[in-house]
Amino acid sequence: MWPNKVLDFHVADFEENGWGKVYLSSPPHYGTNQQWIFHTQSNSIESEHDNRGLRLDVHRGSTENGAEVGCYLPNNTPAQKWTIGQYIVIHISVEIYSFLQ
């Protein structure tokens, strides 16, 4: 859906608050704050930014639509469990022909 965007970890936010926002960013610069590892055994997603093992985390474990997502220290809670699926998007192009008589 967003082929030119990457998930970007706001490191300064984490350093200041102990929990750092993530957001879709463009264009990608491929820094370590935009690199992630999916751990299949724990279903967690780890930031490659540093060696702290920070995990993708739903802020305060919210289950509400629109909840903030960021990075936090690993705590093995449901707020850090993720499922990665594949979505298929079909684009349909319709050509309309008009015939002049």
Average pLDDT over residues 57-83: 95
Select the more confidently predicted residue: 21 or 95.
Answer: 21
Summarize the confidence of residues 53-80 as an average pLDDT. Answer: 95
Residue 98 pLDDT > 50 = no
**Rounded Cα distance, 59 and 39, in Å:** 20
> Domains in the chain, ordered, with CATH?
6-80 (2.80.10.50)
Is residue 51 predicted with pLDDT exceeding 50? Answer: yes
Place of tokens 């490191």: 11
Q: How confident is the model at residue 88 (pLDDT cuts 50, 70, 90)?
A: low
pLDDT for the residue numbered 97 = 46
